[in-house]
Amino acid sequence: MSTGTAAARAGTVCAVRGLVKTYPATRGRRGAPGTPEVRATDGISLEVHRGEIFGLLGPNGAGKSTLVRQLTGLMRPDAGSVDVLGHDLVRHPERAARLIAYLGQESTALDELTVSLAVETTGRLRGLPLREARAERDAVLAELGLDEIAGRPLKKLSGGQRRLACFATALVGERPVLVLDEPTTGMDPVARRAVWAAVDRRRAERGATVLLVTHNVIEAETVLDRVAVIERGRVIACDTPAGLKARVADEVRVELVWRDRAPVEVPEVAALRAEAQEAGRRWTLRLSPERARAAVATVTGGPAFAALDDFTLATPSLEDVYLALGGRTEGLVKA
Amino acid sequence: MSAIPLESSVEAAAERASASGATGRPGASHAAPLAPRARLLPALAAVYRAQLSRARVARIPLLFVATFQSVGIMILMRGVVDGGSEARSVVAGSSVLVVAFVALNLLAQYFGRLRADGGLDHYATLPVRPASVVLGTAAAYASFTVPGTFVTAVFGCLLFGLPMAHLWILAAVIPLAGAALSGLGAALGLLAPRQELATLFGQLGMSAALLLGVLPASRMPGPIAYARDLLPSTYGVEAFARGFDAHPDWALIGLDLGVCAAVGVVSLAVAAWAYRRAAVR
């Protein structure tokens, strides 16, 4: 426990060192090919500080959820250590539930319960006496604006409402660390605001630390204090969103949308095509500011303009950082 | 976990204490105190209550199916069997079949599904003992069977003209056969490598309870009679059937129920072990 003691002293809530998890290769069955061995987490090291909203950003299959499962004691790593508030969770995975509130992606266990009973039951299973569980249930439902649907079963709710109800279960029976796996999936803006307000309140009033899994770059930029970019089981960068974006500050993103097809007969447009990522009629280019200006001048004048439907110039986002660091493009969401 | 002396006295707001440097354990002076665990019985009660509430949403149609199935079987058997010890075993077998349908078949499916689509993660990330979840769920499923079993038994008594004086034995048969069968169902659901296999095992278990429990034992060939002895529901059926005698042999009834109880203890322990194994992979 020496790392734990040192980590706790330095205000580190969660310290992960050299975490490795390999899924063994599977043999092919009739009609289905086998899969090779996969390193879902490949030597991940991280430190999350007290009171921080720390993000894990990456596309599906990058290893975010595997990492989170190892942090929450749901999966044993093959190698490496996980230290949360001075407790070695590789050696004592059962302690995770007494330190961490976890919001997973699945709600099957709760689907047939009413929102109210799901929250109350979770509170009781988190060790609250009945009276406290009910008091916390009422407070959390009111805080998240779930009062009106408290009597309805989860599976009768829309995806966003159900997600918000599951988020409510993560808040009842307070824990110093919240691990939220894509908490706002399917939510409307009102529900999202309720989630982030509730997270902020717990951080400001109680010093809660939040570990957030997301593949939404906009959300990552607006709510995270620091973010680890995960790609194929490795942390390829870890910094504040601003710090990460500063790494590609010398680039501008140019997006061009053509009406029918790109006017590739114009030589300047044909030259741009070599650097563009094409998605249907949309081209995305990452250029130096001078070249971006030239490109815009080209497409907003002369014959190319007639073919142009829309264009945008933007400063880099975390997605650009992700791509600049060598990430695969598909899988990150910009909404 | 009893090595953590503070566990019972620590409040849920663990971080406050840890922020102020409170010590949780000797030898790891900077480790934050752990929030208390959910105690066995309150957690069991919470799981039981939550599972019971599911009945309103999901279980009632299936309970009707279970009851009608047993009632239908008795009507069919009425043409074959006319009174005597065979009628007793048909009524007892059909009544216990309701328990097998819900506690074995439906519970195996429920745990199989929960395991397959990650629903177990919810419980596994809460500080609750596996026994609370397994026992609470099994008890709820056994409770679902109470109305159906009584309706089937009363209907059977009227149909075959059997005495109803000792129907109260069901109050012991349902929980004990329920424990044995739901423990078996939970263990099958949690141990099956795939969800479809959990469903299959549950169905097979129920079919076995149907064929070996409802059909009169005296007409079975030797090997099948042995298979009948291996099935825990048989002992529930026998105990209930003995209750129709004018002077029931209470010692034998107690022995049959004791077998159910013993199987229940073992199978629920296996199910709790299987749950732990399924939750942490």
| A5 with B30: Cβ contact below 8 A | yes
Q: What is the pLDDT at residue A334?
A: 62
User: Average pLDDT for residues A139-144, to the nearest whole number?
Assistant: 96
CB contact under 8 Å between B46 and A76, yes or no, is: no
Domain segments of chain B: what residues? 1-36, 38-279
Note whether A122 and A187 are same-domain residues.
yes
Do residues A221 and A277 both lie within one domain? no
Would you call B80 an interface residue with chain A, using a CB distance cutoff of 8 Å? no
Q: Is residue A192 part of a domain?
A: yes
Same domain, yes or no, for A187 and A49? yes
Percentage of residues of chain A with pLDDT beyond 70:
94
Q: Cβ of B117 and A108 within 8 Å?
A: yes
Residue type, A257: V
Between A8, A73, A94, which is nearest B31 by CB?
A8
* pLDDT score, position B217: 72
Q: Tell me, yes or no, whether A201 and A272 share the same domain.
A: no
A20-24, A298-302, B217-221: which is most confident:
A20-24
Rounded Cα–Cα distance for residues A199 and A104 (Å): 16
Nearest Cβ partner for B54 among A8, A113, A173: A113
Average the pLDDT over A93-104 and give the result.
92
Chain B: residue nearest A136 by CA?
A: B12
> Which residue in this structure is represented by tokens 């230290």?
A83
Q: Which residues of A touch B129 (CB under 8 A)?
A: none
Burial of B57: CB neighbours in 10 Å, binned 0-12, 13-18, 19+: middle
Q: Are residues A22 and A171 in the same domain?
A: yes
B69 min Cα distance to partner chain A (Å): 25
Q: What is the pLDDT averaged over residues B235-260?
A: 89
Instruction: Give the one of B15, B38, B279 whose C-beta lies nearest to A124's C-beta.
Output: B38
Residues of A in contact with B57 (CB under 8 A): 112, 153, 155
Let me know whether A84 and A231 are in one domain: yes
Chain A contact set for B15 (CB, 8 A): 85, 175-176, 206-208
Check pLDDT > 70 for residue A282.
yes
Domain that holds residue A215: 2-28+36-242
Assigned domain for A326 exists: no
A99 with B14: Cβ contact below 8 A: yes
Q: Which of B266, B248, B264 is nearest to B177 (CA)?
A: B264
Residue A86 lies in a domain: yes
Most confidently modeled range among A16-30, A92-106, B211-225: A92-106
pLDDT of residue B111 exceeding 80: yes
Q: Are residues A143 and A49 in the same domain?
A: yes
Residue A99 and residue A157 in one domain? yes
A8 contact residues in B (CB cutoff 8 A): 18, 30-32
* Final residue before a domain boundary, out of A211, A242, A273: A242
Give the minimum alpha-carbon distance from A202 to chain B in angstroms, rounded to a whole number: 11
Angle between helices B195-214 and B84-99 (to 10 degrees): 160
3-state secondary structure of A75: coil
B14 CB near a chain A CB, below 8 Å? yes
Band (pLDDT 50/70/90 cuts) for residue A6 is very low
Mean pLDDT of chain B: 82
ipTM for the whole complex: 0.82
Sheet hosting strand A226-231, strand order edge to edge = A100-103, A177-181, A209-214, A53-57, A226-231, A234-239
Residue A167, exposed/middle/buried by CB under 10 A (0-12, 13-18, 19+)? buried
CA distance B272 to B243: 33
Whole-angstrom Cα distance, residue B46 to residue B35?
A: 18
The pLDDT value recorded for residue A34 is 78
Does residue A57 sit in helix, strand or coil?
strand
Residue A179 identity: V
Q: Identify the pLDDT of residue A99.
A: 94
Nearest to B12 among A5, A173, A207 (CB): A173
Last residue of a domain, one of A213, A242, A271: A242
- For the stretch A171-203, pLDDT in tens is 999 899 999 999 998 899 999 999 999 999 999
The answer for B 96-125 residues in CB contact with A (under 8 A) is 113-114, 117-125
Same domain flag for A46 and A99: yes
Contact A86 B30 (CB under 8 A): yes
- A296 in the same domain as A261: yes
The per-residue DSSP string of chain B comes to -TT-GGGGT--S-HHHHHHTT---BTTBTTSPPPPPPPPHHHHHHHHHHHHHHHIIIIIHHHHHHHHHHHHHHHHHHHTT--SHHHHHHHHHHHHHHHHIIIIIIIHHHHHHHHHHTTTHHHHHTSS--HHHHHHHHHHHHHHHHHHHHHHHHHHHHHHHT---TTGGGHHHHHHHHHHHHHHHHHHHHHH-SSHHHHHHHHHHHHHHHHHHHHS-GGGS-HHHHHHHHHSHHHHHHHHHHHTTSSS--HHHHHHHHHHHHHHHHHHHHHHHHHHHHHH--
CA distance to partner chain B, nearest, from residue A66 (Å): 11
Domain assignment present for residue A329? The answer is no
pLDDT for res B155: 92
Find the mean pLDDT for residues A1-17: 63
Asked whether A184 and A29 are in contact (CB, 8 A), the reply is no
The count of CB pairs under 8 A between chains A and B is 165
Clarify whether residues A232 and A98 are in a common domain.
Answer: yes
CATH number at residue A119: 3.40.50.300
Question: Are B54 and A5 in contact (CB < 8 Å)?
Answer: no
Q: Which of A191, A214, A242 is the last residue of a domain?
A: A242
- Rounded Cα gap, residues A110 and A122, in angstroms: 9
Enter the tokens of residue B82: 């006319």
Whether A208 and A75 map to the same domain: the answer is yes
Asked if the structure places residue A9 within a domain, the reply is yes
Q: How many domains does chain A have?
A: 2
Q: Which of B16, B30, B58 sits opposite A9 (nearest CB)?
A: B30
For β-strands A87-88 and A100-103, DSSP reports them as unpaired
**Percent of chain B having pLDDT more than 90?**
22
B47 interaction partners in chain A (CB closer than 8 Å): 121, 125
